[in-house]
Chain A
Amino acid sequence: KNEVEQSPQNLTAQEGEFITINCSYSVGISALHWLQQHPGGGIVSLFMLSSGKKKHGRLIATINIQEKHSSLHITASHPRDSAVYICAVGKGSNYKLTFGKGTLLTVNP
């Protein structure tokens, strides 16, 4: 079993829909990261969480440390949100990250 599991693997939505992507992990962590990878390959860091909830524009990330679970929500989705969303966890003091396999989101107009 992978240390970081994401669901769903693929997600197709219509413009305007509310999107949720889930991430579960099996180890104690120091922080959880949500990343966005566009078709060109470059990765952008969206959030880093160690507790609670963070919001940036239409993106919301939550984490439940007891349940070892995090969610990324996108409100009022738009075709430009189409990308791969990756969950990654950091543990210990050496700052290495363990990555999920990613969720491919396609938002149709």
Chain B
Amino acid sequence: DGGITQSPKYLFRKEGQNVTLSCEQNLNHDAMYWYRQDPGQGLRLIYYSQIVNDFQKGDIAEGYSVSREKKESFPLTVTSAQKNPTAFYLCASSILDRRHGYTFGSGTRLTVV
């Protein structure tokens, strides 16, 4: 079945370390997105990409980096510059036809220890 795979589900990181969250989709979707979710807040957009080798900053991109070398993969790196990285991270994808919706992954919960 087609879908989005995020790994790992839980991740612990020491302060000062970079960490990369994986997001893979086999839906042949053009666009991919990374969102951050904090308690009591709506999801906020970190980065998005509508085509291979191109991506755009979202509302809270500082301290994060992404790459889009393949259509099916959109990894997110949380760098040591991110001041408050503990959060739940969700990846999503969509095709660019507005008649269709979004598909979300199951998320990665990152905890800085």
> B-contacting residues of A (Cβ < 8 Å)?
2, 4, 30-31, 33, 35, 40-45, 48, 86, 88, 90, 94-102
Most chain B C-beta atoms within 10 Å of own C-beta, residue among A30, A31, A97: A97
A101 → B minimal CB distance (Å): 5
Question: Which residues 85-100 in B have Cβ within 8 Å of A in the complex?
Answer: 88, 90, 92, 94, 96, 98, 100
Task: Give the dominant DSSP class at B's interface.
Answer: strand
Contacts of B94 in A (CB 8 A): 95
B31 CB contact (under 8 Å) in A30, A33, A42, A95: A95
Given contacts A30-B98, A31-B98, contact A44 B104 (CB under 8 A): yes
Q: How far is the CA of A95 from the CA of B51 in the complex (A)?
A: 13
Interface residues of B in 27-61 (CB under 8 A from A): 31, 33, 35, 40-45, 48, 50, 56, 58
